[in-house]
Amino acid sequence: MSSRTFWVGGNWKMNGSVAAIKELTNTFNAGNVSSDVEVVIGAPFVYVHLLSETLRKDWAVAGENCYVKASGAYTGEISPEMLKDVGAKWVIVGHSERRNILNESDEFTAEKCVKALAAGLKVSLCVGELLEEREAGITQQVVERQLGAVVKALKEEDWANIVIAYEPVWAIGTGKVATPEQAQETHAAIREYLKTAVSPKVAAETRIVYGGSVNAKNCKEAAQKPDVDGFLVGGASLKPEFLDIVNAAQ
């Protein structure tokens, strides 16, 4: 087994209500989970404070996005400092829905990483290819381009506070899942890239997690792969089965 601590994140996306979150946190708080897993839940901005107040203290809360300034005339934006102020310890950056629906560039994503880390948040950095990019055989080029902007922007020591989430876009919310072999192959290639682009130490220590229609049924096999260090979970993180995914590596 790897010495890297298994990491499981939930990404609620634009879902939730006060009542639903209270019910779900009651379920999560009562759950019996391994102490060897780091668990982080990403909630919509308006619920971050509620979640940080009600969620079990051995789990952390994340914002689902942030802006690149601490404050100012940026109507509708949320700064990393604000997230930290209401109890978040992490932020999700570069999710494919930000990249592909809201047209956020690799460079903007990298700038968010820099600002979030400077504000004292840890970062779940999402990368991944579209279906046509996988079919064209350019998965690795796409992932390296996305990572490359971040590599340029960060110092080597910054990587201690980053988890890379590989999320093939064709597997998000579609019910299609990359096979454990496909996930392992891409994760191993990312690790190889980090070895030369940053350092062998960063490559060995950085956690690379898989995301894309992960559920309680399909997570166990992937969790056994040597370069799969956990999961970033969408829809299933809004259900009690999330507890089974947290325990997938056991």
Active site residues: 95, 167
Q: How far apart are CA 30 and CA 209, in angstroms?
A: 25
Q: How far apart are CA 232 and CA 219, in angstroms?
A: 11
What element of type H or E holds 37? strand 37-43
Q: Look at residues 68, 80, 147, 70 and name the one whose alpha carbon lies nearest to residue 111.
A: 68
CA distances from 171 to 61, 174, 181, 189, 211 (A): 24, 6, 14, 19, 8
Q: Look at residues 146, 128, 235 and name the one whose alpha carbon lies nearest to residue 187.
A: 128
What element of type H or E holds 113? helix 106-118
CA distances from 169 to 96, 98, 107, 209 (A): 7, 12, 19, 14
Residue type at 46? V
Q: How far apart are CA 169 and CA 128, in angstroms?
A: 6
